[in-house]
Structure 1
Amino acid sequence: MKSIQSYLGDDYEVLSSVGHIRDLADKKDIPADLKKSSVGRYSIDIENDFEPFYVESDRGKKTVTELKRALKQADELLLATDEDREGEAIAWHLLEALKPKVPVKRMVFHEITKDAIRAAVERTRELDHDLVDAQETRRILDRLYGWDVSPVLWRKVGSGRGGAALSAGRVQSAATRLVVDRERERIAFVSASYWDIEAHAQKEGASFRVKLARLDGTPIARGADFDETGSLKRKVTVLDETVARELAAAVEAAGSGSVTKVEAKPGTRSPYAPFTTSTMQQEAGRKLSMSAKHAMSVAQRLYEKGFITYMRTDSTALSTQAVEAARAQAVELYGKTAVPAQPRVYKSKSKNAQEAHEAIRPSGESFRTPAQVSSALDRDEQRLYDLIWKRTVASQMADAKYETTTVTLAIDAAGRTAEFTASGTVYTFKGFLEAYEEGRDEARGDADKGDDQSLPAVAEGDTLGVADIEAKSHQTTPKPRYTEASLVKALEEKGIGRPSTFASIIDTIISRGYVTKRGQALVPSWIAFSVVRLLEENFPDLVDYDFTAALEDDLDAIARGEQKRVEWLRSFYFGDDAHVGLRNIVDNLGEIDARELNSRPVSEGVTLRIGKYGPYLEIVDAESPDADPRRVNIPEDLAPDELTPAKAQELIDAPVAGDRVLGENPENGKLVVVKDGRYGPYVQENEPEDPADVDPDTGVVRESAKAAPATKRGAKKAAAPKPRTASLFKSMSVDTIDLETALRLLSLPRVVGTDPESGETITAQNGRYGPYLKKGTDSRSLEAEQQIFDIDLEGALALYAQPKYGARRAASALKEFDADPVSGKPVRVRDGRFGPYVTDGETNATIPRGENVDDIDFERALQLLADKRAKGPAPKKTTRRATTRKSPSKKS
């Protein structure tokens, strides 16, 4: 904003609208007289052309007040929000709220440079009501979808693990289905085993790797030759271990082979198009390990600082000045041969010309190199700018030229002809590869193609020695799970969502608990399976990929003025020849069996069920089918595709550590047992058991002894005193804890001593938020649980002598890193009240669920802090002022 002000001069006052100033009302903001109407249900008057009921936030109210103040002295109002649907809608909302009496113009720009800003002032336009209608239609569509379908999830999938946090969204549901479908493929996948042989061919001291390709003229099986069921897709020879080892021995005995073919093929590679929003997110994920959300946050900062063009675009086109700048920089850095004779032209795939801006590129008529801007950017901004700069320059460079040579070596292996091949690629002209090469997603099958090695000069008829012969075992693998980068790619390919929404889509399905991250991989939860199943069986169109993409096309058509907002919404909601109608689907759902929906058979007598507190296995005893089934919890870190029948049996057969008897408390004669409960492992004192109820070999209480005695119907149970319990320390294990340690835990809180000044008793104990000392109402946190037993009175008094919140907190950090480049303060990982978090002393960022503290490195810590800064402080709970939407003024 300061840059724009400086470019425009003192004749202008530049103020920020800070995003949307109003939105559809929540139910609590609906006036009482509208509660019983459709406005009360959705904040949309469905009976009256889907008229939305907007409310103005307190932040929006302050913004409007400030803008009205500035308007009193103004001769003209320029609305300079982003030139996309959201930006146009924000401009329209401002116009509705401000009701200006001065001329109003729409100003748009795609980079914050002096020339771009001055040019934008000279080329203003009218507000585009078609874009406004498209955004409003999307917002209404999402509200109707979410508020009609989400309650079905709450009732049928269950309220456990977040309860009403479960939600259905137009694009998030399709994205969740993508991740679940991939996991289903992995579950159904049948692995196939095969063997091959590798060796090193040698000529005059040079050595290169060769691999068995054919045996007696028939190709040897590779991973790509098997389908998802483990069956062969073509006629090949599958080597087993016996044959492979015998053949390897025969090749070793032969010692050499003859070159039967040397084939050289030239090829070219063209550069990649400049970045769109989605390709930038993909590459930032692959090369910089940035989440889509974090990449967009960094790109936003680069745009606002004037270093790149607008970062929400699906266009690959470059302006004439950008093409000239890229070519000039390529020539300057790599020579005249680095660029082709004619500039490269990339065409956008977008049908919506209104939103197809320029590609993401360095701003200005001439590009600044990463070295020239490094002092003005933080670490993440430098890394992303470097990526954008390289991609843009490379996009205007010449094709890379290469030559791939393939050598075939035939060896007589005990009467069988074994043909080995080797490939090597040599670039004769690197072209654009001097500047940039695109990253790749994880590949399946034979990842090592061997075409990156250097081959010596050989000719047909040459005899080559062979050594280091090795028979190797392989197994086919399922498709890899989606990463954020590959999911963004899939969303774009299927037309689900818009490039500007991909980051928020992924963030939503993670925050809802439908997906967790394991490293870079996105792993669906069992809740996601139930949600997707419910939608597939009862709302099939709403999670159909083609249907979801068609909705995006329809919204684009509204943005182009080819369809009318009200007619389209009426068709979608009430139905017509094109749509069944969301209202019709919801009103005719019929019965949904929630228990069946949340169940999945694993093996005979074993069923996976999703309960209130998470997934578990239900085991029915074949010999006693009428008995209550046994339950076994599923570990939280077990991915769905890992729950095989064999793994389920392993969980069922695992010893029940939760009821292991440690011994007898000599003070009261009660039995001390260790249990593994809902909130973690703990020890407990129980009344003595009948010796027959305890397994003498394992010390485990038998299942029959755990059941409470039956009582007659209507009989009043006597209130038994609650047994003493104590949680295990984090450093303790249910498998190794002994009686002595258990008794020490049960004796807590421990009296440390008496404060000589106040006379108050100081105790050490473990609490919900960790170990601490207590003296009256004054408490002090301890650094480690073991201190509960070890700290003496002198140490406790020393701790109380320190400020309650002081420098001693640094010692409680779980991890410590270097200084943050933004704040300049050291970065630490701490264990807080609501779990582990990253902090630099100014900004606190919670470590997302599913990520392990041990896996948090300096780079990830900086990313979490940057994301939190970009998100800004949590909004305060405030009241809202309701406003109704007025019909937009007609365009002239």
Structure 2
Amino acid sequence: MAHKLVIVESPAKARTIGGYLGKGYVVESSIGHIRDLPTSAADTPAKIKDQPWGRLAVDVDHGFEPYYVVPRDKKAHISKLKKLLKEADELYLATDEDREGEAIAWHLLDELKPKDIPVKRMVFHEITKAAIQAAAENPRELDMDLVEAQEARRILDRLYGYEVSPVLWKKVMSGLSAGRVQSVATRLVVDREKERMAFRVASYWDLEATFDAGGAYEPRMFPARLHSVDEVRVARGSDFGTDAQLTKQDRLHLTRADAEALATGLVDTTYDVRSVESKPYTRKPYAPFRTTTLQQEASRKLGMGASVTMSVAQRLYENGFITYMRTDSTTLSDAAVGAARSQVRELYGEEYLPEQPRVYASTVKNAQEAHEAIRPAGDTFRTPAETGLTGEQFRLYELIWMRTVASQMKDAKGSSVTIRLGGRAADGRDAVFTASGRTITFHGFLKAYVEGTDAGASRDDAETRLPALTEGEPVTAASVSPEGHETKPPARYTEATLIKELEDRKIGRPSTYASIIGTILNRGYVYKKGTALVPAWLAFSVTRLLVEHFPRQIDYEFTALMEDVLDDIAGGRRDRNTELAEFYFGSGDITGLKTLVDELGEIDARELATFPIGEAGDGVNLRVGRYGPYLEGTDEGPYAGKRANVPDDLPPDELTSAKARELFANPAGEEIQLGEHPETGLAVVAKNGRYGPYVTELLPEDAPKSAKPRTGSLFASMSLDTVTLEDAVTLLSLPRVVGTDPESGEEITAQNGRYGPYLKKGSDSRSLDAEEKLLTITLEEALAIYAQPKQRGRAAAAAPLKELGDDPVSGQPVVVKSGRFGEYVTDGEYNATLRQGDSVESITIERAAELLAERRAKGPAKKSAKKGAKKTAKKAAKKTAKKTTKKTAKK
């Protein structure tokens, strides 16, 4: 029976839309992209393998013609779609309404090749019954400008990645990758770390005072800070440069001695109010979410990474809860504005509703997506409680709902006040203090939603009340005390601030930021320390090569300009082939990428991987080696001929001269003599090993080859600098016999393993929660542990190393445990391994929740049959078949 075939991207979307369209429609998924440029030699068509451009799969000599292939795992699905198409009388291509979705629709059309039936492009920005039915009734044509723009972007990225990455393999390390936007994002993180490394701390002092306005005022006591002395402004942190020098010469730099002397001189001073300045305070609502602002807010407020945010938003969109989540737009439809205003009236009252609907213009240049802002789906909004959602989907929907409703509320109103108070010190100097306050008289939209802030910034609803003083009134100082301060280095990027920086610089597209950050994390260029993004030394080497040999391709302004070029191609204002030819072959005074690669010349790989550490005379270089970073003394320096490994989780800006000396003092493999063991007489030494510091005995030269020295890992509370012979003897005494189980007669021992302390009884092991218990645990305590039922699973019985609190999504307690592959966090349902830069000591519940959210977004782990079992089953089936055939033939 003939039907209308509708093809969308995901199975979840297909199920939802199929229910809305009903009979006469068959809705099927393409399961994402159905074809792409080949990613391996095995996928590359034989007819182009011998071509000079075959590796690229783009015919750069003939109009940059791409050669697409259907991946092997998609061929069966394509056959299924073709079969459904044979029975269809209409084809609807209902992929997302953006460049990516338009390209997928074109690839489907080109691969399926429908004959003698109408083909329609069906687009919608929310998955509700009304929206889907309206989209089916109002299709449009395929937009080939959008397709060309997406194809140009794909080809551009292929040329960049496939030409530059091999240079990294040869000169830095195999397995690396370069990307048009990914490399620039990495450079941003590296450049910020360089700023931190060059930063020098400046110390400065001022006075902090508490003033008493008298019993007639509320509040009576209020704080103030020294503003000026004899009309010269006192230096603040913002007045110093990264070199610790004042950038403004008309500032008074107070030292500790200056501040203490001034404070002493102001002990008996009386003060008067010099001025009171009051200004009205107005704060307008924030625009509804677009892709980047949603990612930033979810990071600040919910602790979700960009990739997790987009994954959760995708599920909300596909299940009909929100509109399309990849958008540059901040506009709302008339129906959405009406729904938001209705909820403002219902939930907050008429006084919070402005007379006219609010309209938000897009602030993004060349906003490309033809969608609304991200908002709750439908012509009427469901409150979060009405959705039935749970966990991270509930939290993200609630965030979107609150932001949308707040965008149609009145401004917040109030007043800000600055009071200046002055008095003369004993030495005649005139000191002026300032106090600033803010009161909000009408909260307006802040009643519904307050935007999150980055570290150090105050919230929009923060209030500080001051007494209603008038000019000339006397006040007294309850206290005046000197306060010391130090300037801070530029803050590292977080996912939220890196996304903001990329958008501010107009680099990349909002819909790609999550994958960009995911790529630089997965490639090992960047790792997380808490929420901060820290560059690995490997990223320094890669960035140096690109800056020195591909300066145009990694330039911030050029990368942003390329986005304008792609937007012009999408709008039909530029020719695709002309722009690709200029990028790859060059034109005029512009050198193309191909010329740069072909004429690269000699690159000193050793120099690329070498970075001076500390001061000029320290004679220490950091080298990026095949197995990680390490320190190496220069020939002229005090560490000539010496090497020391650098911990993978040590941020580059913390590798100071002092830290280098510490690492050289205890390098991996070098022994610290502790003395002779009192029982064996053998020499005992301490070392730094691959898995951390440990102590061991040195066997005599004539010891048999089968003899193994006793070793013991240092406890977390110990260090190579402080470990003593007595400590070493205690560690070498492990494993310790705790006693014998009276029921089984088996011996119970306390042992320290690679993954932490544990008890062992026969083949039954139980983890201990503290290393010190290895030395103190009694037989009674050990038996109590073994009396607890052991859960199934290899790591189920491991005692937690640390308890962190409840997971904000599952509500279950989160603990840190030690497993076969290292430490991990778990809420009982999902496990997430600690990353580089995380440690048991430093991890917080916020970081653990982020790791678990990323793991949860990947879905349940796939269970695969063991090779041995599979092989045995196959063999048995073959044997049975052979036996049956033989028996039948005989019969």
Q: TM-score range by the shorter chain?
A: 0.7 to 0.9
* 8 Å contact kept, 2:830–2:852: yes
* 8 Å contact kept, 2:644–2:667: no
CA distance in 1, matches of 2:315, 2:460: 40
For 1:845, the equivalent position in structure 2 comes to 832
CA distance in 2, matches of 1:753, 1:462: 80
Partner amino acid, structure 2, of 1:338: Y
For 1:833, the equivalent position in structure 2 comes to 820
Counterpart among 362, 387, 390 of residue 378 in structure 1: 390
State the 1:359 CA deviation. Answer: 0.6
1:496 aligns with 2:507: yes
- TM-score norm. by structure 1 comes to 0.84
CA distance in 2, matches of 1:833, 1:175: 34
CA distance in 2, matches of 1:361, 1:40: 45
CA gap of 1:47–1:779, structure 2 versus 1, over 3 A, is: farther
For 2:521, the equivalent position in structure 1 comes to 510
**CA displacement, residues 394-436 of structure 1 (integer Å, 9 cap, x when unaligned):** 2222222222222221212122211112122222332222222
Counterpart among 144, 155, 170 of residue 159 in structure 2: 144
Partner amino acid, structure 1, of 2:500: K
Partner amino acid, structure 2, of 1:224: S
Partner amino acid, structure 2, of 1:18: I
For 1:728, the equivalent position in structure 2 comes to 713
Q: Please, which moves more after superposition, 89-98 or 466-475?
A: 89-98
For 1:37, the equivalent position in structure 2 comes to 51
For 2:651, the equivalent position in structure 1 comes to 639
For 1:98, the equivalent position in structure 2 comes to 112
**CA displacement, residues 425-482 of structure 1 (integer Å, 9 cap, x when unaligned):** 22233222222222222348xx899994211121122111111111111122222111
* 8 Å contact kept, 1:153–1:167: yes
CA distance in 2, matches of 1:228, 1:526: 22
- TM-score norm. by structure 2 comes to 0.84
Query: Counterparts in 2 of 1:873-892, with a 5 A limit?
Result: none
CA gap of 1:465–1:583, structure 2 versus 1, over 3 A, is: same
* 8 Å contact kept, 1:187–1:641: yes
CA distance in 2, matches of 1:241, 1:295: 48
Query: Counterparts in 2 of 1:44-193, with a 5 A limit?
Result: 44-101=58-115, 102-157=117-172, 159=173, 163-164=174-175, 166-193=176-203
CA distance in 1, matches of 2:863, 2:598: 37
* 8 Å contact kept, 1:323–1:343: yes
CA gap of 1:769–1:780, structure 2 versus 1, over 3 A, is: farther
Partner amino acid, structure 2, of 1:562: R
Query: Counterparts in 2 of 1:669-708, with a 5 A limit?
Result: 670-686=682-698
State the 1:234 CA deviation. Answer: 4.2
**CA displacement, residues 113-138 of structure 1 (integer Å, 9 cap, x when unaligned):** 11111111111112222222222222
Q: Please, which moves more after superposition, 631-640 or 4-13?
A: 631-640
Q: Please, which moves more after superposition, 732-741 or 4-13?
A: 732-741
CA distance in 1, matches of 2:459, 2:443: 22
SS where residue 69 of structure 1 aligns? Answer: helix
CA distance in 2, matches of 1:251, 1:57: 79
Q: What percentage of residue pairs aligned between the two structures are identical?
A: 56
CA distance in 2, matches of 1:340, 1:263: 29
CA distance in 2, matches of 1:801, 1:49: 71
SS where residue 452 of structure 2 aligns? Answer: coil
CA distance in 1, matches of 2:53, 2:531: 43
CA distance in 1, matches of 2:112, 2:740: 67
CA distance in 1, matches of 2:468, 2:790: 76
Counterpart among 211, 215, 235 of residue 225 in structure 2: 211
For 2:262, the equivalent position in structure 1 comes to 247
1:406 aligns with 2:418: yes
For 1:693, the equivalent position in structure 2 comes to none
* 8 Å contact kept, 1:497–1:552: yes
For 2:6, the equivalent position in structure 1 comes to none
CA gap of 1:678–1:536, structure 2 versus 1, over 3 A, is: same
CA gap of 1:448–1:246, structure 2 versus 1, over 3 A, is: farther
* 8 Å contact kept, 1:209–1:450: no
* 8 Å contact kept, 1:599–1:607: no
State the 1:236 CA deviation. Answer: 1.9
**CA displacement, residues 747-801 of structure 1 (integer Å, 9 cap, x when unaligned):** 999999999xx999999987777789999xx965542589999999x999x9899
CA distance in 1, matches of 2:788, 2:203: 67
For 1:886, the equivalent position in structure 2 comes to none
> CA-atom RMSD, angstroms?
4.0
SS where residue 459 of structure 1 aligns? Answer: coil
1:560 aligns with 2:571: yes
Partner amino acid, structure 1, of 2:104: I
CA distance in 1, matches of 2:21, 2:588: 53
For 2:482, the equivalent position in structure 1 comes to 471
Counterpart among 273, 278, 284 of residue 292 in structure 2: 278
1:288 aligns with 2:302: yes
1:202 aligns with 2:186: no
- Structure 1 gap segments, 5+ residues each: 690-718, 878-892
1:258 aligns with 2:272: yes
CA distance in 1, matches of 2:83, 2:732: 67
Partner amino acid, structure 2, of 1:494: R
Partner amino acid, structure 1, of 2:418: T
Q: Please, which moves more after superposition, 729-738 or 102-111?
A: 729-738
CA distance in 2, matches of 1:465, 1:752: 68
Query: Counterparts in 2 of 1:339-738, with a 5 A limit?
Result: 339-350=353-364, 352=366, 354-373=368-387, 376-414=388-426, 415-443=428-456, 452-577=463-588, 579-601=590-612, 602-603=614-615, 604-612=617-625, 613-620=627-634, 622=636, 628-652=640-664, 658-664=670-676, 670-686=682-698, 724=709, 726=711, 728=713, 733=718, 735=720
State the 1:283 CA deviation. Answer: 1.1
Partner amino acid, structure 2, of 1:330: V
Higher relative contact order (CA 8 A, sep 6+): 1
CA distance in 1, matches of 2:667, 2:118: 79
SS where residue 56 of structure 1 aligns? Answer: coil
CA distance in 2, matches of 1:421, 1:745: 60
* 8 Å contact kept, 2:290–2:374: yes
CA gap of 1:674–1:406, structure 2 versus 1, over 3 A, is: closer
CA gap of 1:264–1:598, structure 2 versus 1, over 3 A, is: same
Partner amino acid, structure 2, of 1:552: E
**CA displacement, residues 350-399 of structure 1 (integer Å, 9 cap, x when unaligned):** 454652411111111122222322xx212222222222122112222222
CA gap of 1:197–1:31, structure 2 versus 1, over 3 A, is: same
Q: Please, which moves more after superposition, 652-661 or 257-266?
A: 652-661
Partner amino acid, structure 2, of 1:454: R
CA gap of 1:854–1:751, structure 2 versus 1, over 3 A, is: closer
CA distance in 1, matches of 2:589, 2:812: 59
Q: Please, which moves more after superposition, 207-216 or 264-273?
A: 264-273
SS where residue 472 of structure 2 aligns? Answer: coil
- Structure 2 gap segments, 5+ residues each: 1-12, 865-891
Partner amino acid, structure 2, of 1:11: G
Partner amino acid, structure 1, of 2:644: V
CA distance in 2, matches of 1:614, 1:59: 36
Matched residue pairs, number? Answer: 836
* 8 Å contact kept, 1:661–1:673: yes
Counterpart among 325, 333, 355 of residue 319 in structure 1: 333
For 2:342, the equivalent position in structure 1 comes to 328
